[in-house]
Amino acid sequence: MTSPGLRWTDIWKLAWRGLTRRRVRTLLTTLGITVAVASMVIFLSLGEGIRKVFVSQLGGIGPDVQVSLTPLSQGLALQPNLPQQTADDIQALAPELGIQTVTPVIMAVRGGLEVTQSVVLYGLPAAQGIAAVFPTTTAAQGRALTPADEGAGVAVAGAKAAQNLRLEVGSTLNLNRRNQVKVIGVLAPESGLVDNFIFIPLTTLQRSEGAAGRVSLVAVKLDNPRDARRVADVLSEKLNLEAGTQSDFLSFIDRALIISDAVRFGISLIALIVGGLAVANTVMMGVFERTREFGTLRAIGARPSFVRSLVLTESLLLSLVGGVGGVLLGLAGIAGVNLYTQQLAGIDAAALTPRLVLLALAISLLLGLLSGLLPARNAGRMSIVGALGRI
């Protein structure tokens, strides 16, 4: 409640004037909140960005149903532990389930000392070609896989994989000490995920991995992708295997990101608490230094609630300015993160979404409210005589 003759705009003006009296202290406190909020924004933006990447880039690519021994809740199936005969068993059910293509796939990850040297090796039948699983891919250089390539030491590199490993048509890629392949094509930039794949004929990669007759998964494309859930349930029941859809995979990613968001927010909370203590200290010092001023306000008729509102408004204003600064600084940080991940994998790994902006500002205001409660309480309980008598 304000005092007679004073409006809320007057309180905001007085609060701003109170903060600008000690500009260096106010600036340093604001910077502390700005850095704390910016760190939270950058950390949480990673989860938002990865969500957008998977939703946008898995929506129209990849298999409608993925069959493996490993459930999606345990991550991607990379271990070649599934009998290749499974593909024939699924093919036998094709007329009944409306299955368009069945593609056995073996996957492996090749890592290096640098992240940019890590790629995913994706083996599939050369007779079916890359388009059997990723229909929109096209070769920018050289050519794609053909039936004659089955068993041969050849490979087609995704755009980002070729860039990171400095591959071009005619380059040689070592799979291990005994096996190497020759690059016969480089794909046009398509997706941040597919761009990091290197496609190899199925039997070639099986031989390299020592996994003859075994695959990591079987990719299934349907005549009607809307039947994916029904088909996955039928395949899981009839073959006693794990069958998941794109929606299942996205749900798994979302659950993993929620846990990751909670961990990152917990780390950011430490910085936010320190920022909150800085706000409380600044406002408390302001209350102490302006004791006589508050006593004078009380003496000329200001109510205790007015003094409390003034101090609380200063705290909220300080936190709000820091919050806005934190969002802007976080936006610059996100741009830096995306610049790095674009060079690394061709994706924007961080994103500043409207809900993240609202969360940052809401937490800033909550921080200001909590930090200002004690100073506001102390200011409102001052006695007029004691305040005016303080030197």
Q: How far apart are CA 97 and CA 230, in angstroms?
A: 9
* Range with the poorest average pLDDT among 98-107, 190-199, 233-242, 330-339: 190-199
pLDDT of 109 higher than 60: yes
Q: How far apart are CA 369 and CA 168, in angstroms?
A: 59
pLDDT value, residue 278? 81
pLDDT of 106 higher than 90: yes
pLDDT value, residue 317? 87
Return the closest-CA partner of residue 232 out of 106, 99, 122.
99
Percent of the chain residues past pLDDT 70, beyond the cut = 86
* Range with the poorest average pLDDT among 184-193, 294-303, 319-328, 368-377: 294-303
pLDDT value, residue 217? 92
pLDDT value, residue 388? 61
DSSP for 47-93, written as a single string = HHHHHHHHHHHHSSSS-SEEEESS-GGG----S--EETHHHHHHHHT
pLDDT value, residue 391? 52
Q: How far apart are CA 126 and CA 148, in angstroms?
A: 7
Return the closest-CA partner of residue 250 out of 43, 42, 60.
60
Backbone angles phi, psi at 215, to 5 degrees: -135, 170
Q: How far apart are CA 224 and CA 58, in angstroms?
A: 17
Asked if 11 and 308 touch (Cβ cutoff 8 Å), the reply is: no
- Per-residue pLDDT, averaged over 271-295, amounts to 76
pLDDT of 294 higher than 80: no
Q: Which two tokens stand for residue 228?
A: 């994916």
**Average pLDDT along the chain:** 84
Looking at per-residue pLDDT, the higher value among 277 and 344 belongs to: 277
Residue 49: pLDDT band (50, 70, 90) is: confident
Residue 123: pLDDT band (50, 70, 90) is: very high
Residue 1: pLDDT band (50, 70, 90) is: very low
The rounded Cα 334 to chain-centroid distance in angstroms is 11
Q: Which two tokens stand for residue 277?
A: 């203590």
pLDDT value, residue 387? 54
Backbone angles phi, psi at 100, to 5 degrees: -90, -55
pLDDT value, residue 345? 67
pLDDT value, residue 247? 79
SS3 23: helix
Asked if 334 and 353 touch (Cβ cutoff 8 Å), the reply is: no
pLDDT value, residue 146? 94
pLDDT value, residue 192? 65
Q: How far apart are CA 356 and CA 363, in angstroms?
A: 10
SS3 266: helix
Residue-wise pLDDT tens digits, 159-211: 989 988 999 999 999 988 889 999 999 999 876 678 889 999 999 999 999 99
Degrees to nearest 5, angle at CA 111 with 105 and 117:
110
Residue 156: pLDDT band (50, 70, 90) is: very high
Return the closest-CA partner of residue 122 out of 210, 209, 242, 202.
202
Residue 386: pLDDT band (50, 70, 90) is: low
First to last CA, the chain: 29
CA torsion sign for 123, 129, 132, 134 is positive
